[in-house]
Amino acid sequence: MEQFDFTDSPLRQDAEGTIRVIGSRITLDTLVHIWQQGDTFEEIQDGFPTLSLDQIKGVIAWYVNHSAAADAYL
pLDDT tens, residue by residue, 34-72: 999 999 999 999 999 999 999 999 999 999 999 999 999
Confidence of residue 3 (pLDDT cuts 50, 70, 90): confident
How large is the average pLDDT for residues 11-34? 96
Confidence of residue 28 (pLDDT cuts 50, 70, 90): very high
Q: Find all residues with CB under 8 Å of 66, minimum gap 6, and list them.
A: 4, 5
Residue 1 pLDDT > 80, yes or no? no
pLDDT score of 4:
87
Own/partner contacts of 48-56, CB < 8 Å, gap of 24 or more, are 48/24, 50/24, 50/26, 51/21, 51/24, 51/26, 54/10, 55/10, 55/21, 55/22, 56/31
